[in-house]
Amino acid sequence: MTNTQRNTLVIGIILALVAGVGYYVTHRLKKEDDQIKAKNQTLRTEIVKLDKMLAQREAIERQFEALKIMIAQQTKVLIQNDTPAITYNYLLQILKWMKRNINFDFSLSSKKAPDSSWNEYIVQGSAHYMSVVNFIKQLEYQRPVLTIDEITMAEHTVAVSDTVQFSMVFKTHFSPEGAAIETVPEKEVPAYTSPYVSFRPRIYDTPPEMEIDPALLQIDKTVIVGMTPTRVFLRDDRGIIHILSIGDRVAYGYLYSIDSKQEKIVFRLNQYGSTEDKTLFMQATK
Amino acid sequence: MAKQKRTAYGIAEDGVSIKLAYLTRDGQQISLQALEQVELEQSLYQHLPAQPAEAQPEAWKPENGSSGELQVEDISLDTISSFRTQPYEKLFQTYSLNQGLLAINAFEEQFIKLPIGSEPTAKQKQKLVRENIPAAEFKEKHWQTSVVSINEQPELWVHHGNNRLLEILEAAQKSQKTRFYFKLADANETALANLYMHTSTAAEGEKNMVLYLGRDFRRALLFEGRKWTFSLPISITQQQPDIDIVYSKLSLALDEAHLADPQNLYVCGDNCFLDSVEYLRTQLPNTNVEMWHLNNLYLDGDAAQLYEADMIARFALPIALAWKALTMEEAGVVKSNFLPGYIRESQKSFKLAWHGYLLFALLFLATLFLAFTYANLKNSIIRENTLNKTLTREYTVKKQQAESMLAMQRAIEQQNKNLEIIKTLLTDKNPWTEIVTRLNNSFQTHPTSWITNLRKEGEGIKVTGVTTYRPNIVYFASVFPNGSIINAKHREIRSFTVWDFEINYSYPEVDWYKMMETDAENLRRYQEEQRELQLKKDLDAQGKPTAAAGKSQDEQVSAIGSAIDIPYPDKKLLENTNDPAVKAYKDIVTAFNARNNWLMVDLGVKYINNYPRNTLTSYVRWYLAYRAVQNKENDKALIWIEPMLSNKRDAVYPYTALLAGMIYKNHGNKQAADNYWRSITQDYPQHPTARTARKLIDAQ
């Protein structure tokens, strides 16, 4: 083999190697280039999609801001989280809003599944009926979702006839997507409830202790000492003479009538919850 | 290779001797490193047909002069060579011939010198050669040519036949398993002439002669200045001719050539001895005769001691060959080289044929193409990578923004879900306020009745109470659904007969769903408003709510919107733009015009709290109430304007009364509506709202 042939062969081999290596390298680079171009194209497409999406960003941000305001103002809101401390604090907050004080016992009920989104509480105590009514109303109508499962109200003693004993079982519901309770403002509770105390007894076996003006005549301890058609003279247990005309106030009532012919007088009294007429006769008086 | 070129070995055969000169070149300085000579048993060319019977019997004699016992006349050189180591083999092994350029001489008798007029073409050369050498040699290409000019007369020198010196060197190359680099195969004359022309310091016109007296080769070369003018053969048959014969032959040659005695005569060659030089000096009194000791040849320390001038003169031929090999690329060198073509070719490692060039061009183009492609791709990758980084950064930022936006969207959607959850949670729940309220109302209107106990009973409630009037029990049983009188027992309290009763009820229905629906409706409406808002960019920034803001509501609102008068504050109130109250008011108006109800309500509540006594507060309350009416929230609307209804001196009062009448009309309370409208016509007959009020009264 001559040098030229050898050199041709060598160049041929080099050419083949160069071509082979070159093809491999350029193929690899082309592949890399294509991959990165494809990646860039994908990114561009994604960016265009994102741009389209982000075109609404301003509106959505405004919506979101407004949503936060809206959530705070909507009728009912799930709170974000609940613990007995949160609920207890919330109950105290309600009392602040009511500007009333109710003494109650508060406890966490044990009836709770581990993964439930509510806590159950029991509240019991005694308070003025309207305070309890308002308290119930606040629980039901304020924005945080609390559901009262059970309420018991019972009349108290005659002595405190506007006070009721009460107990209630309620649940505080929460959701991670809810609002932080601190951000939920007070809501004006629109529903009107008559201040009438339905639990107050109207007729009693034993009259309730009432403060009576000591200057008023106590009928039970009085005797008639004289009368005219328009006036009656009465002496109380202290010996003091009282002169009464029709309509004059006495303890628990007033003088209703004078019957000088029959020598009797009638008092209309409401000592036991209902109006009663009490008649005194001259003769009966000693 | 560059280092090899600075070393050259001149190897010359002459008769039965082979001489070697080892020269090195460092820049312009050529140094003698070694001289060596071996004696052959016979001449290398002894067996060639061209010299059939000229073998020198002396060559076979041992150097010590003994007669010798071995007679090998019938044994050929090749046969002997096959089992004996030749002296030159040891010579070739002694020096690292593969490290330098090799320059050898060609056998004098193998040259044919053809006078030519000018430089012949390749075809002419071939023709001349074919005509002058044996056909077999021509066919086998055993010939080489060079054009040599003597005295400006060009001659075509043809060397034909095998170069035996070259052959034994090739054999040595094989046996040493190495490669020699043959630079030159030259004729003795041209090598010596070249050496003279390179080393001579002769002045122009100075006639000098180099007389080479070798074993076989003897020649006188004449120069004029540094120009080669004549080459005179000195034909002497003796191996070691007497000097007087030499002189006579020289004189004869000069006479025949009609040449005068030279001014300087430099004697060299194997037969150059001091006594010979002295003899010639005596014979040529007008000529400076001396040994050719080559003043330009540098002898370093060892060489200067080893080699004296006469020895250098005897080795003039190999020195000339090595010298020429070292200086071949320089100008003025006699351009003759009789190295066989195949040797030259074999030494041109990088020589290319057409196919080589073609492939080389392809290789170049392919490399160029690949380089361009590579560069383009690499640039593209760099560019794309840079772009990728930028895009990735942009994508990451936008993705984060989008995720944040999606989170907001999800929160908005979640709000819808939450509303549904709340609706579910509140279904049939929280009826207690309703229960207590209804009971209170019922017992208030049916006196001498009271509740002693209220509690949950199964899936309903149980009310235990007392009444003095039996029919009340029946009434109480109808207060809630499914009222069931469990018992009713009488007893006496003092002189009164009272009735204890127990009634069971189902829970009354409380429409939490409706309330939640209002919220959901508000949310939906708000979202629609936001979408519309996207299309509306030209908001009224003048501080006045636009009447158009009230025209695109539902039917009820449209009816109101067409009849209502909107209060506008005096411009003077809005002049102080630095007043935070004015700024806040304008924000509310902007929200009002943008129908951003929730924002307006939020800002409005804050405004009322922050500026309760500001003149603009009445306007804010009116706008809030107006929006509430548009949203069918009549109760809310009343709450907003309630404080204003008791202040007839307020500038907004007529508008407020007009709106209050609307609200009551929506409630179905036409009497109350009529009262409010009439109060406008009576108290503010000249007010713009009075006309509207009259129309509304007439329309009832």
- pLDDT tens, residue by residue, B25-73: 988 889 999 999 999 888 888 755 544 333 344 434 444 444 444 444 4
pLDDT higher at A2 or B497: B497
Chain A hits for B377, Cβ within 8 Å: 26, 29-30, 32-33
* Contact between chains at B377 and A74 (C-beta distance less than 8 A): no
> What span, in angstroms and rounded, lies between the C-alpha atoms of B309 and B59?
27
CB of B40 closer than 8 Å to CB of B165: no
Interface confidence: ipTM more than 0.95: no
Q: In the numeric block, which tokens belong to residue A255?
A: 């003088």
Query: Taking CA atoms, what residue in A is nearest to B448?
Result: A202
> What span, in angstroms and rounded, lies between the C-alpha atoms of B670 and B131?
147
Low-confidence ranges of chain B (pLDDT < 70): 1-5, 47-84, 516-517, 519-563
Of B366, B392, B430, Cβ closest to residue A22:
B366
* Contact between chains at B394 and A47 (C-beta distance less than 8 A): yes
Q: In the numeric block, which tokens belong to residue A203?
A: 């007729």
Alpha carbon of B577 to those of A2, B160, B573, B613, B622: distances in Å? 102, 120, 9, 19, 22
Of B430, B448, B599, Cβ closest to residue A274:
B448
pLDDT at B563: 55
Determine the straight-line distance between the first and last CA of chain B, rounded to whole angstroms.
123
Chain A hits for B398, Cβ within 8 Å: 47, 50-51, 54
pLDDT at A190: 65
Of B380, B439, B523, Cβ closest to residue A33:
B380
Alpha carbon of A153 to those of A52, A136, B262, B504, B684: distances in Å? 60, 11, 160, 15, 53
> What span, in angstroms and rounded, lies between the C-alpha atoms of A178 and B321?
108
> What span, in angstroms and rounded, lies between the C-alpha atoms of B15 and B246?
18
* Contact between chains at B418 and A175 (C-beta distance less than 8 A): yes
> What span, in angstroms and rounded, lies between the C-alpha atoms of B537 and B139?
104
Chain B hits for A76, Cβ within 8 Å: 422, 426, 512, 515-516, 519
Strand partners, A121: A108, A170
Instruction: Tell me which of A60, A163, A278 to substitute to probe the interface with B (most B C-beta atoms closer than 10 Å).
Output: A60
CA A57 to chain B, closest CA, distance in angstroms equals 6
Q: Give the DSSP letter of residue A153.
A: E
* Contact between chains at B493 and A204 (C-beta distance less than 8 A): yes
Query: Taking CA atoms, what residue in A is nearest to B532?
Result: A59
> What span, in angstroms and rounded, lies between the C-alpha atoms of B337 and B187?
8
Q: In the numeric block, which tokens belong to residue A16?
A: 């083949």
pLDDT at B59: 39
* Contact between chains at A148 and B443 (C-beta distance less than 8 A): no
Chain B hits for A54, Cβ within 8 Å: 398, 401-402, 405
Query: Taking CA atoms, what residue in B is nearest to A15?
Result: B363
Residues B608-656: tens digit of each pLDDT: 888 888 888 888 989 888 888 887 778 788 888 888 887 777 888 889 9
Chain A hits for B514, Cβ within 8 Å: none
Instruction: Tell me which of B399, B405, B608 to substitute to probe the interface with A (most A C-beta atoms closer than 10 Å).
Output: B405
pLDDT at A115 exceeding the cut of 70? no
* Contact between chains at B494 and A272 (C-beta distance less than 8 A): yes
CB of B564 closer than 8 Å to CB of B692: yes
CB of B468 closer than 8 Å to CB of B497: yes
Give the mean model confidence (pLDDT) for residues A175-194: 79
> What span, in angstroms and rounded, lies between the C-alpha atoms of B612 and B433?
32
CA A227 to chain B, closest CA, distance in angstroms equals 29
Q: Which residues contact B654 (CB under 8 A, 6 or more apart)?
A: B680, B683, B684, B687, B688, B689, B690
The 3-state DSSP class for residue B205 equals: coil
Q: Give the DSSP letter of residue A179.
A: B
> What span, in angstroms and rounded, lies between the C-alpha atoms of B52 and B69?
25
CB of B507 closer than 8 Å to CB of A54: no
- For chains A and B, count residue pairs whose Cβ atoms are closer than 8 Å: 287
Alpha carbon of B392 to those of A34, A47, B47, B296, B423: distances in Å? 17, 9, 89, 77, 44
Q: Residue B475, Cβ neighbours under 10 Å: how many?
A: 15
pLDDT at A170 exceeding the cut of 50? yes
Q: Which residues contact B418 (CB under 8 A, 6 or more apart)?
A: A77, A78, A175, A177, A178
Alpha carbon of B318 to those of A243, B7, B20, B41, B436: distances in Å? 181, 14, 6, 20, 141
Residues A133-156: tens digit of each pLDDT: 999 999 998 889 999 999 999 987
> What span, in angstroms and rounded, lies between the C-alpha atoms of B232 and B262?
13
> What span, in angstroms and rounded, lies between the C-alpha atoms of B573 and A230?
71
pLDDT at B526: 66
Chain A hits for B412, Cβ within 8 Å: 60, 63-64, 67
Counting residues of chain A whose pLDDT is more than 90, the rounded percentage is: 31
Of B359, B398, B495, Cβ closest to residue A8:
B359
Chain A hits for B370, Cβ within 8 Å: 18-19, 22, 25-26
* Contact between chains at A175 and B373 (C-beta distance less than 8 A): no
Q: Give the DSSP letter of residue B84.
A: S
Query: Taking CA atoms, what residue in A is nearest to B640?
Result: A188
Residues A17-44: tens digit of each pLDDT: 988 988 898 888 888 888 899 989 999 9
Alpha carbon of B527 to those of A58, A148, B457, B587, B599: distances in Å? 13, 33, 44, 20, 13
Give the mean model confidence (pLDDT) for residues A58-67: 74
Of A19, A75, A137, Cβ closest to residue B518:
A75
Q: In the numeric block, which tokens belong to residue A56?
A: 């609404």
pLDDT at A167 exceeding the cut of 90? yes
| DSSP string over B161-179 | S--HHHHHHHHHHHHTT--
Q: In the numeric block, which tokens belong to residue B466?
A: 């007392």
Chain B hits for A12, Cβ within 8 Å: 359
* Contact between chains at A202 and B447 (C-beta distance less than 8 A): yes
CB of B154 closer than 8 Å to CB of B116: yes
> What span, in angstroms and rounded, lies between the C-alpha atoms of A134 and A95?
9
* Contact between chains at B418 and A78 (C-beta distance less than 8 A): yes
* Contact between chains at A25 and B353 (C-beta distance less than 8 A): no
CA A140 to chain B, closest CA, distance in angstroms equals 6
The amino acid that residue B48 corresponds to is L
pLDDT at A177: 78
